[in-house]
């Protein structure tokens, strides 16, 4: 299987019913898949959400678009990226990590002191 065929196969397996909401920050459609077409992938997602105790994505949930996903992936504030006139995602507010204070101290929200 060549690279192009592999991409098409993966895209097909990861497709499904998407949320109809809009991102409040960027105004783009929500990128969250509510139900995957591939039953194995859906079962895996359901199992991971059950382990994590993650709530279901609803109309009241925070909606994340493709631009938000880039910011989260790069560990930046949600509004760090915007779509430019050509439709490409561009970094507009660089220089700060979303878990870093102005003093350069990294905030780890998963750690609790005893």
Q: Quick one: DSSP state of residue 89?
A: E
What pLDDT band is residue 114 in, cutting at 50, 70 and 90?
Answer: very low
The tens digit of pLDDT for each residue in 51-71 reads 999 888 888 998 999 999 998
Tens-place pLDDT, residues 26-58: 999 999 999 999 999 999 999 999 999 988 888
Q: Are 64 and 32 in contact (CB under 8 A)?
A: yes
Domain ranges of the chain: 16-91
- Are the C-beta atoms of residues 47 and 60 closer than 8 Å to each other? no
């Amino acid at each position: 299987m060549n690279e192009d065929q592999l991409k098409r196969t993966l895209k097909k397996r990861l497709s499904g019913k998407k949320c109809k909401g809009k991102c409040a920050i960027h105004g783009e459609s929500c990128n969250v898949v509510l139900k995957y077409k591939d039953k194995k992938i859906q079962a895996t997602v359901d199992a991971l959400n059950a382990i994590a105790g993650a709530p279901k994505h609803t109309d009241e949930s925070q909606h994340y678009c493709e631009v938000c996903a880039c910011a989260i992936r790069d560990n930046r504030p949600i509004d760090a990226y915007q779509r430019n006139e050509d439709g490409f995602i561009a970094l507009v507010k660089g220089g700060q990590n979303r878990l870093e204070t102005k003093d350069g101290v990294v905030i780890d929200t998963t750690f609790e002191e005893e």
